[in-house]
Amino acid sequence: MANRTDPAAKSIRGTNPQNLVEKIVRSKIYQNTYWKEQCFGLTAETLVDKAMELDHIGGTHGGTRRPTPFICLILKMLQIQPEKDIVVEFIKNDDYKYVRVLGAFYLRLTGTDIDVYRYLEPLYNDYRKLRMQSADGKFVLTHVDEVIDELLTKDYACDIAMPRVKKRWTLESHGILEPRKSVLEDDFEEEEEKEENEQMDGVENGGNDEKDYHHGRSPTRERDRDRRPDSHRYRFASYLLQIGIRFIFGSRWWLNCFLQDRDYDRDYDRDRGRGRDRDRDRDRDRDRDRDRYRLRDEKDYGRERDRDRDREREGRDRERRGRDRGGGRRRSPSRSRSRSRDRKRRRSPSPRKNEAEETKKKEKKTSEKKEKKDDGTDHPDPEIAEANRIRASLGLKPLK
Amino acid sequence: MLEVVLNDRLGKKVRVKCNEDDTIGDLKKLVAAQTGTKAEKIRIQKWYTIYKDHITLADYEIHDGMGLELYYN
């Protein structure tokens, strides 16, 4: 009785709205104590209270796939089918971020394409942190705009399959939607201009940043980082286009930066437009990341960086000349430069850790190369070759 | 290299070639590639022991030709 959909509810996508959640997950929710105790006889108003008590999002977790309260409330909403106004209110409310995400999720499941884009895209500007429980039970940090991005781009979230929505450009070409204008677009263009200007100056303003680094993350920086988690995507595209040739400090280093999102965000906030400083900051970031809990010898660090700075300036001039002459990427100057910097970094306060990372990186590179050559797809036995091909596509090592 | 048999007793029986040092998560990916279900939806059990994703086959003492139960989440 408690699990039956409201008879007055209309069918969604041709079926009982509760069928949007798959049978197995649905049964798991029905057997869950949170559902049985808290979600019994909920109405739209009391649902709001329950939603305000949420403190994490997620699908199912653990070996037996226990559902989270979030997903129980989603099923409850599907069962009682609140009005669209109520859902929009959920989304518009600013105080409770989990209520917002709950509303957004429900709208993504039940709303029309236009509604989905119209109501969910403003939420891209919400940068607040969320706690998400992953499938193995651990809690991970995510942000509201990341979750919204998942909802709009992926077709599976929180163990619920998302219904298909039309692509944005289809709606744009029909004139139903406006092309998307990001709030960050103006900031982004400003920064691009600033970068180009300030790179020519070559003023070294490292002093202030130094102090900040040594004292750990300042609260303002935290806020900045929280405020702009999406900018790194645009930043990276811009780098590739404009500055890719200039900042060729070894592709590994780029890979490193790209993989370490945290460093990336930190870079953006601090180095708005200070190209030179950005390089230095990246070096420092790597060191700092590694040595965060170690005492630092500030004098040595300053000296190191001065030397780095000079080396980099030389390198950059060399680079520029090279670029003017030949254009395109030159591996050797960058490689030697990065090697000299590696040696420099090794002498910094945490030599052992640096070395370990360097060797690990080198190993990874060589092993990657090796795997590409003999990942077993050229095995004489066709079955094994086939199996190895599947394994390679999944990212696993070949069969032994 | 060993070959494991996964059976869900509803008609799906797959034989998967894998290494001993593969984790259960990797095995689920291979099974997903062969059967078409998503890897997150697969549950591998042996009687009532649900096999965890991060443990290798060698640690679970899964040998060549062994049969495992295939369930869905």
pLDDT band at residue B62 using 50, 70 and 90 as cut-offs: very high
- Return the sign of the alpha-carbon dihedral for residues A368, A371, A373, A377: negative
Distance CA A126, CA A100 (A): 10
Report pLDDT digits (tens) over A360-381: 555 555 544 444 445 677 788 8
CA terminus-to-terminus distance, chain B: 28
Q: Is the CB of A399 less than 8 angstroms away from the CB of B19?
A: yes
Q: Is the CB of B1 less than 8 angstroms away from the CB of A400?
A: yes
Range of weakest confidence among A344-358, A375-389, B17-31, B56-70? A344-358
pLDDT reported for residue A227: 46
pLDDT reported for residue A213: 44
Q: Is the CB of A63 less than 8 angstroms away from the CB of B22?
A: no
Neighbours of A74 (CB within 10 A): 23
Region A157-186: mean pLDDT is 83
CB A253 within 8 A of CB A205: no
pLDDT reported for residue A336: 45
Q: Is the CB of B54 less than 8 angstroms away from the CB of A136?
A: yes
Closest CA to B72 of B26, B21, B3, B6: B6
Report pLDDT digits (tens) over A234-255: 555 555 555 545 545 444 554 4
Alpha-carbon gap: A385 to the closest alpha carbon of chain B (Å): 11
Mutate which: A23, A133, A400, vs B, most B CBs within 10 A: A400
Nearest chain A residue (CA) to B3: A399
Alpha-carbon gap: B14 to the closest alpha carbon of chain A (Å): 13
Return the top range by mean pLDDT from A215-219, A361-365, B61-65.
B61-65
Per-residue pLDDT for A285 more than 90?
Answer: no
List helix spans (H) across A93-139: 97-110, 113-120
List helix spans (H) across chain A: 23-30, 33-38, 44-52, 69-80, 84-92, 97-110, 113-120, 144-153, 168-173, 185-201, 206-214, 219-227, 231-238, 251-259, 261-270, 275-290, 298-325, 331-346, 351-373, 382-394
Residue A400, amino acid: K
Of B17, B50, B72, the CB nearest to A63: B50
B7 forms beta bridges with B13, B69
Q: Is the CB of A390 less than 8 angstroms away from the CB of B54?
A: no
Per-residue pLDDT for A296 more than 60?
Answer: no
Per-residue pLDDT for A308 more than 90?
Answer: no
Alpha-carbon gap: A367 to the closest alpha carbon of chain B (Å): 17
Per-residue pLDDT for A28 more than 90?
Answer: yes
Region A223-244: mean pLDDT is 51
pLDDT band at residue A219 using 50, 70 and 90 as cut-offs: very low
Report pLDDT digits (tens) over B12-55: 999 999 999 999 999 999 999 999 998 988 999 999 999 999 99
pLDDT reported for residue B18: 92
Alpha-carbon gap: B23 to the closest alpha carbon of chain A (Å): 10
Report pLDDT digits (tens) over A97-156: 999 999 999 999 998 888 899 898 888 888 899 999 998 889 999 999 999 999 998 888
Q: Is the CB of A391 less than 8 angstroms away from the CB of B30?
A: yes
Tell me what the pLDDT averaged over chain A comes to. 70
Per-residue pLDDT for A279 more than 70?
Answer: no
Q: Which of residues 27-56 of B touch A (CB under 8 A)?
A: 29-30, 33-34, 38, 40-41, 43, 50, 52-54
Range of weakest confidence among A12-16, A239-243, B7-11? A239-243
pLDDT reported for residue B57: 93
pLDDT reported for residue B43: 93
pLDDT reported for residue A107: 93
- Does residue B15 sit at the A interface (CB-CB below 8 Å)? no
pLDDT reported for residue A377: 74
Q: Which residue has the tokens 């920064």?
A: A191
More confident residue, B61 or A179: B61
pLDDT band at residue A301 using 50, 70 and 90 as cut-offs: very low
pLDDT reported for residue A158: 84
More confident residue, A186 or A308: A186
Range of weakest confidence among A10-24, A165-179, A287-301, A367-381? A287-301
Nearest chain A residue (CA) to B33: A390
Distance CA A104, CA A129 (A): 16
Q: Which residue has the tokens 């066709």?
A: A382
CB A114 within 8 A of CB A167: no
Per-residue pLDDT for B59 more than 90?
Answer: yes
